[in-house]
Structure 1
Amino acid sequence: MEPIHEAEASVSPPTRPVFNRVHYDLSLDTNSPTSPPQADVQRLSRSDTAVHREPFSPLRRRRSTRVATFRTIDDTDDFDFDATYTERPGWQPGSEPGFDPNLPDGGHASMPTLSAPCEITVVDFSKDRMAKKHFDNDGFVSFLTEPKEKWAKCRWININGLSWDVIQAVGAHKGLHKLALEDIMNIRNRTKADWYPSHAFIVMTLQKLVHLVDEDDDSDASSLLSSRSTTKLKNLFRGFGRSKESKVPGSGSSSDPEKRTVTKCMTELSETPELHETSMIRSLQRYHASGNEIRTEYMEANSILAPLNLAVAAEQVSIFLTADNTVISFFEVSAGDVERPIVTRLSNPGTVLRESCDASLLVQAIIDAIIDLAIPLTAVYNDVLGDLELDVLTSPSIKQCKDLYICISEINKMLRFLNPIDNLVNVLRDHRTSLTHEQAVLELENPASGVIVTPMTHTYLGDVLDHCIIITEALEQCKQSSENLINLIFNTISANQNESMKQLTTVTIIFLPLTFITGFFGQNFPEEGFPEIRNGIWYFWACAVPTAFATVLILMREMIYAWFVRVIQRKRVLSNRKRNKAKRKTR
């Protein structure tokens, strides 16, 4: 289309300005195979002074300044985001989803591999026998090539730590879906359950109460108080979620990130800065945290549990339930807390878990143990809030509102990861097989039957759901109590301020007439015009007291009337109570 410019001048009135218009030739040769010609619009160049000298035009003109343009940010590596908040380096929008275990780099050459020393436990069991083996990374990869023994009816592979070589070996050996493998390495997933042809994949969050101790501290784990300062919590968790150097070889303490106590509900941590990223406990504030590092450190240092040297640790747990009656679980650091009670049950013949040889029931036991680790959280928050409640009732202050706000923030985050577990358990229960329990047991080791959730697992998942609801309701009650305490603080402070203003008002009303009379008698009256000025002090009080009394009655008449009404009503209530008590005694 070729634009044709023409100047069109108006005949009348003669002062009418001349406007430049652009017309386009819209004719197009459809028979021509070539593309239509591009429009070449010729713009008239004018100086800025010429534009200002032109008369006003009702037509809208293009701005002389350039409109701001926008460009998509392709590289976010220059921004200072938290490492756990953003995707891993090399990720780009629109990249191929999933990690292929058959490729050395998972199909993402730009994605750095995740490597860490892992502690792997393999438990094979049947009704008559149970065997447990421990492996490191290389030993486990070699072990997967060996066939499973014929006597083993069910297998549990429990992996403590996230490392690509282990994930790749398991994924290739069991045929795990590449989307599930990607979810394992992405530690910012939501709680969910995905179903694939040969396996089910479960992601959830483990939350537990941890007690911070020094490496050389041999005291009992039940001691909640410690001589360490409250800033130790900030120093320990600072840098969690960032890349760390590999642990120093030969360091015995670095290989044991936790000093676990079987009989206690809390975990003692060893302060080892050499721990790898996937072998470190993350506080609740750093788990799924935003990129604001300053806020995270502040929330950690001022946590409601900091004075007790306690903290809430959180990590992601991934569980696979395969069609060949195998369970594969991935923990970041807390595999031992779940493994110990389950292995104890499997070691004792006659337990339901041992006799069933059911992988779905083993998944139920793992989920139940993860939820039970959150039970101490409700107890400690109830205890701390109880102390805060006594402080609020005896001496309310604004500082307590800050502690309560941080407490509400922590409870909200815990509920954010606990509430979806209800739906997760219901989803597992909905996938109950239509077979009877006897028929389902016979099909457990048949891969062609797919993933089976037996009727017994459906029954025991109801108990897991009850535990989860109890914990969430207790935390909801703590949250509501915190909000009520904040309202009580503001209401109490406001009531005290109103009472102070009321007292000041009363004093002002009493002294208002006295101030007026004092100012009146303080004027320079001539003695012949105001002979009463010669009277003594009694004359002042003779005028001031009746005036003050009358002013108080006039200005405070409603308050005085309400006080008399309350007194009369109170006397009637007390007399009725005495009369009722007397009637009860006579019966």
Structure 2
Amino acid sequence: MPRENSFTDSEGRSLTPDLEDEGRTSAVRSHSSHHTNNIHFIEHPPHMERSSVKSGLSKRPLSLRSRFLPHHSIMTTYEAQHPKDRFRAVVHKVISLHRGATLLGTRTVGAEPGIDPSRPAVDAVYKHIEEGCDIEIIDYSAVRSRHRSLNNREFVEFMESGEREAWVKVRWINIGGISWDVIKALTLRHGIHPLALEEIFHSHSRGQSKAEYYNNHLFLRVLCHEFVNEHNPPLPTGSYINAPRSASPEPISDFDATKEMPSTTTDTEKGDDMLNTKRKPFGSRSILPTTRVDVKPVAESMPLTQASRRFTHMATNETTVQVQQREHKQDVAIVDALKQGSRVNVNTSPMFFFLMRDGTLISIRPTPDLSFTAPISYRLKSRDTVVRKSADSSLLLHALLDLIVDKGLQVVDQYNIKLQRFERDILLSRHIETVQELHILSGDLILHKRTFQPIKTLIYGLRRYDSDRSSALVDVGNANGKELQFAGFMSAKSKIYLADVHDHMEYILSSLDMFSSISENLIAYSFNMKSYEMNNVMRRLTVTTIIFLPLTFLSGYFGMNFNVFWSTQNNSDLFFWKLAIPIFAVFVGIALYSDIKELWKRMSKKRHFNQTVQKSRLFR
């Protein structure tokens, strides 16, 4: 009988039948078509008896049933295979079933928007996303603070524990890295909206920064720009960041939070273990398929129903889309490799914020590293800072936004340094390599301007429309005639400080506009100077041709061979120069008339300037 969780067609037949059931069924069918004289009494090994009991055909031992079954029908093709091949076939069926459930689950085209961890189907789709997260929880008030550093397992247990203490005014949950167990525990505890979770798992790495208002929290998605030194490359993010909405996230790593990392490791090995917390053994290759491409299609001998055809068509289309995405990533990697060199290395990665009304602020970055927010954590340890004394979660959000904008200012300064060097090279010597680097820099400036502009709009919206957008979430119909008080997520003090952040964003955008204009002007200046130099070269060639054209004519005339030639027979070679020198002088004057006239004007102006200077000295 087919498994309970297998897909069936309209007639009740399983699309992913059990191989043992299929083999046993064919054996019974073949037995009914043969005469009883062909019966052979054969005993089978114990492993076949166990498989037959698991398949559910009969509860009697296989040795008893084998007395009434013919020999050629019992030894099916599946049973005649090697145990490793049979195990591989079963695994392929299981993986096919899992992939089919994923394909027909919640993340297909036209599916319900949002990610709800409380649904079992959603949990089955995303539970393979495991990563060793770096988590920091800071509880503080104006007089007291407490810092915690947790791993995945400890954080899940912390979220399942009781409420926070009474003295805690603000709780900052700072998470580096994205793992499904952490996000699920966080969502179930704080009630994060499913649409906000969808932005975390299915947003593009260069998506626009935005703010979304929900009843329980304010959600912010801010694109961080960080200057990266060539000797310290950025940590790679997971593959789920660029996943489209209709695709399921791919596995990140084989992380196991219960296993501890070995203590006898070097600094380089520790850095590698931060990325891959569980290494695969060398020389081993898993026989399990990792993608849908590795899963073998349905056998050709199996009749395809309408449901199975639809499933096969969907799987084929998704495989084609994945191949195109991999090719696109390869093209992007090639272009990035060609742009390396004098390019300003800027790491752009999204950062997510959840501002709750109970004073809780949650910040999430895709990379398992908290060095980006380390300055804010350090400021919270001191009592005399504004963030600590105010004990305001919205002011803590302002501090993080101000940190992101300050990182953008560092990027702008690096572009200013790079542009000044290019300008110096263009003024000294115009090489095509410098023009190429200017072209790459101009494209990066346009891209950064497009990503910085939404941050300015977001900050302006938090200052101007926070109360209005919060009031729009309240259901006025349930007021029962009472006057409702609308409170925004941002306090009045935080809005005042956000004005300074908005001014910094104005400076960043104006600087990017200026740098983009300067780079385009330098490119145009380079080509204009090249054209000017080419025009001068052509002009010199033209003047030289005009000057020597009559002399060439005279030389050719006097070099002719005639029997009677009066010019050469009755005159010496001086006669040639008597003709060539005046003609040469006349043609030089005609060819260089404009230059001689311009030189005369310049000398006149200089003489007039010298006379004016002498007269001014006499009057002194």
Question: Into which bin does the TM-score normalised by the smaller protein fall?
Answer: 0.5 to 0.7
Q: Structure 1 residues 250, 305: closer, same or farther in 2, change over 3 A?
A: farther
Q: Is the 8 A contact 1:162 1:331 kept in 2?
A: yes
Q: Structure 1 residues 195, 113: closer, same or farther in 2, change over 3 A?
A: farther
In the alignment, what sits opposite 1:93?
Answer: 109
- Superposed CA deviations along residues 219-241 of structure 1, whole A, max 9, x for unmatched, are xxxxxxxxxxxxxx79999x998
Q: Distance in 1 between matches of 2:151 and 2:558?
A: 100
Q: Structure 1 residues 493, 427: closer, same or farther in 2, change over 3 A?
A: same
Q: Structure 1 residues 302, 463: closer, same or farther in 2, change over 3 A?
A: same
**Matched residue SS, 2:346:** strand
Q: Structure 1 residues 506, 100: closer, same or farther in 2, change over 3 A?
A: same
Q: Distance in 1 between matches of 2:267 and 2:181?
A: 21
Match for residue 172 of structure 1 among 182, 188, 192? 188
**Matched residue SS, 1:490:** helix
Q: Structure 1 residues 536, 293: closer, same or farther in 2, change over 3 A?
A: farther
In the alignment, what sits opposite 2:489?
Answer: 452
Q: Structure 1 residues 356, 256: closer, same or farther in 2, change over 3 A?
A: farther
Q: Distance in 2 between matches of 1:510 and 1:453?
A: 81
Q: Which has the higher helix share?
A: 2
Q: Distance in 1 between matches of 2:575 and 2:545?
A: 23
Q: What residue identity is the alignment partner of 1:99?
A: I
**Matched residue SS, 1:193:** strand
Q: Distance in 2 between matches of 1:453 and 1:121?
A: 23
Q: What residue identity is the alignment partner of 1:210?
A: V
In the alignment, what sits opposite 1:316?
Answer: 350
User: Aligned-pair distance for 1:344?
Assistant: 2.0
Identity of aligned residues (%): 30
In the alignment, what sits opposite 1:103?
Answer: 119
Q: Is the 8 A contact 1:254 1:274 kept in 2?
A: no
**Matched residue SS, 1:319:** strand
Q: What residue identity is the alignment partner of 2:138?
A: V
In the alignment, what sits opposite 1:530?
Answer: 566
5 Å matches for 1:434-583? 451-527=488-564, 529-533=565-569, 535-573=571-609, 575-576=611-612, 579=615, 582=617
In the alignment, what sits opposite 1:119?
Answer: 134
In the alignment, what sits opposite 1:152?
Answer: 168
- Superposed CA deviations along residues 65-104 of structure 1, whole A, max 9, x for unmatched, are xxxxxxxxxxxxxxxxxxxxxx9x9854322111012124
Q: Distance in 1 between matches of 2:490 and 2:465?
A: 6
1:386 to 2:420 alignment: yes
Q: What residue identity is the alignment partner of 2:167?
A: W
Q: Which runs of 5+ in 1 are unaligned?
A: 1-86, 215-232, 260-269, 278-287, 435-447
**Matched residue SS, 2:168:** coil
Q: Structure 1 residues 234, 100: closer, same or farther in 2, change over 3 A?
A: closer
- Superposed CA deviations along residues 515-546 of structure 1, whole A, max 9, x for unmatched, are 1111111122222x524455332221111111
1:202 to 2:223 alignment: no
User: Aligned-pair distance for 1:190?
Assistant: 1.5
Match for residue 328 of structure 1 among 362, 376, 395? 362
**Matched residue SS, 2:122:** coil
- Superposed CA deviations along residues 289-345 of structure 1, whole A, max 9, x for unmatched, are 992533533334533546xxx722111101011111111111122752343221222
Q: Distance in 1 between matches of 2:585 and 2:433?
A: 43
- Superposed CA deviations along residues 113-141 of structure 1, whole A, max 9, x for unmatched, are 53211111111111111011111112111
Q: Which runs of 5+ in 2 are unaligned?
A: 1-102, 243-249, 279-324, 469-484
User: Aligned-pair distance for 1:247?
Assistant: 6.7
Q: Is the 8 A contact 1:254 1:275 kept in 2?
A: no
In the alignment, what sits opposite 1:263?
Answer: none
RMSD: 3.7
**Matched residue SS, 1:128:** coil
TM-score by length of 1: 0.67
Q: Structure 1 residues 319, 253: closer, same or farther in 2, change over 3 A?
A: farther
User: Aligned-pair distance for 1:274?
Assistant: 5.0
Range moving further from structure 2, 367-376 or 337-346: 337-346
User: Aligned-pair distance for 1:551?
Assistant: 2.1
Q: What residue identity is the alignment partner of 1:171?
A: T
In the alignment, what sits opposite 1:350?
Answer: 384
**Matched residue SS, 1:202:** strand
Range moving further from structure 2, 97-106 or 250-259: 250-259
In the alignment, what sits opposite 1:128?
Answer: 143
Q: What residue identity is the alignment partner of 1:557?
A: Y
Q: Is the 8 A contact 1:243 1:276 kept in 2?
A: no
Q: Distance in 1 between matches of 2:368 and 2:152?
A: 17
Q: What residue identity is the alignment partner of 2:529?
A: T
Q: Structure 1 residues 573, 257: closer, same or farther in 2, change over 3 A?
A: farther
**Matched residue SS, 1:150:** coil
Q: What residue identity is the alignment partner of 2:155?
A: F
In the alignment, what sits opposite 2:65?
Answer: none
Q: Distance in 2 between matches of 1:93 and 1:425?
A: 33
Q: Is the 8 A contact 1:198 1:322 kept in 2?
A: yes
Q: Distance in 2 between matches of 1:546 and 1:142?
A: 106
Q: Is the 8 A contact 1:432 1:458 kept in 2?
A: no
Q: Is the 8 A contact 2:342 2:437 kept in 1?
A: no
User: Aligned-pair distance for 1:253?
Assistant: 11
Q: Structure 1 residues 104, 142: closer, same or farther in 2, change over 3 A?
A: farther
In the alignment, what sits opposite 2:289?
Answer: none
Q: Distance in 2 between matches of 1:364 and 1:486?
A: 39
User: Aligned-pair distance for 1:547?
Assistant: 1.0
- Superposed CA deviations along residues 326-376 of structure 1, whole A, max 9, x for unmatched, are 111111227523432212222111322112111111110011111112222
TM-score by length of 2: 0.64
- Superposed CA deviations along residues 452-480 of structure 1, whole A, max 9, x for unmatched, are 31110010001111222222333333222
Q: Is the 8 A contact 1:234 1:297 kept in 2?
A: no
In the alignment, what sits opposite 2:331?
Answer: 294
Q: Is the 8 A contact 2:130 2:255 kept in 1?
A: no
Match for residue 448 of structure 2 among 414, 417, 427? 414
Q: Structure 1 residues 274, 360: closer, same or farther in 2, change over 3 A?
A: closer
